[in-house]
């Protein structure tokens, strides 16, 4: 199933009441290890998140970087100080090919990365933190986003067929006209409004819609 991400609000009953009450929710029924993993994901999301919106497709982008080996910069990622998309030089991965990359992208911070028209088919992107990334028209067929934080990423017209969002935080991202057949949404953490927007994508397979709880 999917865990709806609700913004924190005061709870008069305290933690004990939350554990014991009928409305304790999914988190209160999960194993301690699973809860800890989700807390780490939500903490990473909180660090990455701010009021800045997702980069619009019509927004002017900088010229393609002429830096040698610019595609290899993804294997290093951003520093912690750049986790919220604040950078001196953008991480320009446009048109790069990371097909079946199984080791060098895992766990990297790809904040504010320019990823349009890049290929990540079959890549292991588990535990990555993607905040304010621009992935319009990129290909993520069969990409593994397990335990990743996907925050305000523009996936417009991206190919996400068969991508795996297992235990993934999806916040503020857009999927307009993205191809999403056979995407796996297992234990995905997503806000209610984001879920409503995601469910408007008609390419999502019936099983995935059921998993998401789309109406």
**What digits encode the pLDDT tens for the residues 29-70?**
444 555 565 555 555 555 444 444 455 555 688 999 999 899
Q: What is the mean pLDDT of the chain?
A: 81
Weakest mean pLDDT among 82-96, 103-117, 183-197: 82-96
Lowest mean pLDDT among 54-68, 92-106, 107-121, 193-207: 54-68
- The residue ranges of every structural domain in the chain are 1-6+29-51+71-215
Sign of CA dihedral 34, 35, 36, 39: positive
Contacts 24+ apart (CB under 8 A), 124-133: 129/44, 129/48, 129/83, 131/48, 131/49, 131/83, 131/84, 131/85, 132/52, 132/54, 132/55, 132/84, 132/85
**Structure tokens, 213:** 């709880």
- Pairwise CA distance, residues 172 & 34, whole Å: 23
Mean pLDDT for 176-203 is: 96
pLDDT band at 2 (very low <50, low <70, confident <90, very high): confident
Q: Which fold has domain 1-6+29-51+71-215?
A: Pectate Lyase C-like (2.160.20)
Q: What is the pLDDT of residue 86?
A: 52
Q: pLDDT category, 22, cuts 50, 70, 90?
A: very low
pTM: 0.76
């Amino acid at each position: 199933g999917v865990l709806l991400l609700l913004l924190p609000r005061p709870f008069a009953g305290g933690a004990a009441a939350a554990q014991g009450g009928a409305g304790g929710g999914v988190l209160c029924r999960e194993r301690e290890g699973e809860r800890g993993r989700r807390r780490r994901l939500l903490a990473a999301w909180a660090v990455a998140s701010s009021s800045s919106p997702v980069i619009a497709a019509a927004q002017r982008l900088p010229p393609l970087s002429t830096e040698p080996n610019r595609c290899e910069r993804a294997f290093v990622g951003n520093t912690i100080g750049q986790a919220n998309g604040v950078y001196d030089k953008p991480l320009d991965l446009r048109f790069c090919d990371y097909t079946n990359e199984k080791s060098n992208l895992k766990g990297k911070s790809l904040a504010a990365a320019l990823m349009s028209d890049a290929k990540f088919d079959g890549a292991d992107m588990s535990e990555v933190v993607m905040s304010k990334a621009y992935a319009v028209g990129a290909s993520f067929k069969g990409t593994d986003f397990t335990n990743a934080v996907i925050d305000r990423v523009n996936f417009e017209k991206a190919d996400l067929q068969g991508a795996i969002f297992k235990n993934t935080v999806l916040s503020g991202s857009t999927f307009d006209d993205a191809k999403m057949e056979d995407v796996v949404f297992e234990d995905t953490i997503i806000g209610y409004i984001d879920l409503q927007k995601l469910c408007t994508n008609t390419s999502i397979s019936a099983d995935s819609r059921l998993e998401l709880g789309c109406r």
